[in-house]
Amino acid sequence: MDLNSLGNWYNQMERLGEANMPFVEVDGVMYTPTQILAHARANDAIWQRIQQVRPDLDPEEYPTTLLIARIEQRMAEGRLAPIYILGVGELTPEQQLEEIRKGTPIGLEILQAEAGLIKELSPR
């Protein structure tokens, strides 16, 4: 991915409030779009590794740790909204995290939704 495309993607992420959210995990380390752009501009070893492992920043699978970290950060920032599930009712952010931690079907659906969001936000 060239720097111009990466910069355009970063600008979009910044407008959406996603620039400082964990976005990709490489070798057990999570990187935000801000960090990804900084490493790309420096063309350092971390950027080279990111390019090697996740050349399009859109992996086929998203680590559960990354998905949970994003949800927890959004909750800490007050940006995790309650959701409504048919047959269950409203789930507060705290209840959502509880479902995730328990590994319930609802928790798994929440994680799948977060993975879908990352996929939608991935550079194209």
Determine contact, residues 77/69, Cβ cutoff 8 Å: no
Banded pLDDT at 115 (limits 50, 70, 90): very high
> 60 pLDDT exceeds 80?
no
Residue (of 49, 34, 37) closest to 2 by Cα position: 37
> 1 pLDDT exceeds 90?
no
User: Helix, strand or coil for residue 19?
Assistant: coil
Q: Mean of the pLDDT values across residues 29-47?
A: 97
d(CA 101, CA 10): 31
β-strands 24-26, 89-91: how paired?
unpaired
> 41 pLDDT exceeds 90?
yes
Would you list the domain boundaries of the chain? Answer: 3-53, 64-121
Determine contact, residues 23/31, Cβ cutoff 8 Å: yes
